[in-house]
Amino acid sequence: MKKAYEKETNPTAKEIFKTILANVEVADRDNMLICQDTGLPIYMVKVGSKFPVDGAKISAALKEGAKRATVEHPFRGSSTHPVTRVNPQTSVGEGLPIIYWDFVADSDCLDILMIPKGSGSENVSAMKMFIPADGVSVLKKFVIDTVLQSGSNPCPPGIIGVGIGGTADLVSKLAKEAIARPVGSHNHDPFFAKMEDELYEAINSLGVGPMGLGGDVTTLAVHIEWAYTHITQNPVAVNTQCWPARRARAKVYPDGRVEYGF
Ligand code: SF4
């Protein structure tokens, strides 16, 4: 964010960056929330093949953790029934918390990444099933159009996560995984790494700027995750992360050690 502030030339945008940076400082100093919408609890879990606890117990513990974070700590109760809109104020319910599982060979570590996701950024998510005849340029246009249409709603500048390939559900998950990557990282595949840079340049030439009020910096990073798809399909998804890009990681080891980080 500091680098983005230095790069920004629009005076109004620079003021917005100053406010954002002051917000971060105050939140750090006073141990307060950086934004009132702490979002939905989302966990990305990697279980090492040598980690000695079964998945059901881990799942139950994550649920309990989400509940305690809401009842005992300042995680806002933002989770509600989709039709009755009844909110149990626990962040736990049918399908919640959201847990994505992965498994790692020859590892004794349980790696838990928590990415709370607010609604301003999640609400502008988009997915479309293109066909191969549409070509690559249409995928890029879809990503750029999505960011443009999002305007101020996702509290830019944040991270634009892009999923390409897979199925309708997998492509959305890939876009979510893309926002979880650290800013400055690139996809392992040179083709998609180049596309990340191209989209980054294109999006930052839109002029949307911080908080959508105009400026040079519309996004801090564009991350792509991809998967093989069907010969007649070309799905693309966009998941936008807002500027706080909150995340917390715990690495748990069999001897009880826990390393915290991001
Ligand atoms: S989009 Fe992000 S920064 Fe904006 S209000 Fe929602 S959670 Fe907060």
**Domain ranges in the chain?**
42-117, 119-241
- Please classify residue 176 by burial: count the beta carbons closer than 10 Å to its beta carbon, then call 0-12 exposed, 13-18 middle and 19+ buried: buried
d(CA 104, CA 110): 9
Asked if residues 241 and 159 have their Cβ atoms less than 8 Å apart, the reply is yes
262 confidence band (pLDDT: 50, 70, 90): confident
Predicted pLDDT of residue 154: 97
Quick check: helix, strand or coil at residue 48? strand
CA distances from 245 to 23, 57, 140, 240 (A): 14, 28, 23, 10
Of 176, 182, 167, the closest CA to residue 235 belongs to 167
Predicted pLDDT of residue 222: 98
Nearest protein Cα to ligand 1, atom 4: 155
Can you tell me which atom of ligand 1 is nearest the CA of 118?
A: 7
Say how many Å lie between the CA of residue 242 and the centre of ligand 1.
Answer: 6
Of 210, 105, 223, the closest CA to residue 163 belongs to 223
Output the six-digit token pair for 99: 């847990």
Predicted pLDDT of residue 74: 86
- Averaged confidence pLDDT in the chain: 96
Say how many Å lie between the CA of residue 243 and the centre of ligand 1.
Answer: 8
In sequence order, which ranges of the chain are alpha helices (DSSP H)?
2-7, 11-30, 55-71, 119-122, 135-150, 168-180, 190-203
Say how many Å lie between the CA of residue 217 and the centre of ligand 1.
Answer: 17
DSSP 39: -
What digits encode the pLDDT tens for the residues 98-139? 999 999 999 999 999 999 999 999 999 999 999 999 999 999
Give DSSP secondary structure letters for 104-116.
ETT---EEEEE--
Predicted pLDDT of residue 178: 97
Who lines ligand 1 at CB under 6 A?
Answer: 35, 37, 39, 118, 120-121, 154-155, 242, 244
In sequence order, which ranges of 31-83 are alpha helices (DSSP H)?
55-71
Predicted pLDDT of residue 10: 97
Can you tell me which atom of ligand 1 is nearest the CA of 36?
A: 8
Can you tell me which atom of ligand 1 is nearest the CA of 39?
A: 7
Mutation choice for ligand 1 from 36, 37, 40, 76, CB with most ligand atoms inside 8 A: 37
Average pLDDT estimate for 171-200: 97
Average pLDDT estimate for 19-45: 95
Nearest protein Cα to ligand 1, atom 1: 120
Can you tell me which atom of ligand 1 is nearest the CA of 119?
A: 6
Say how many Å lie between the CA of residue 127 and the centre of ligand 1.
Answer: 21
Average pLDDT estimate for 152-158: 97
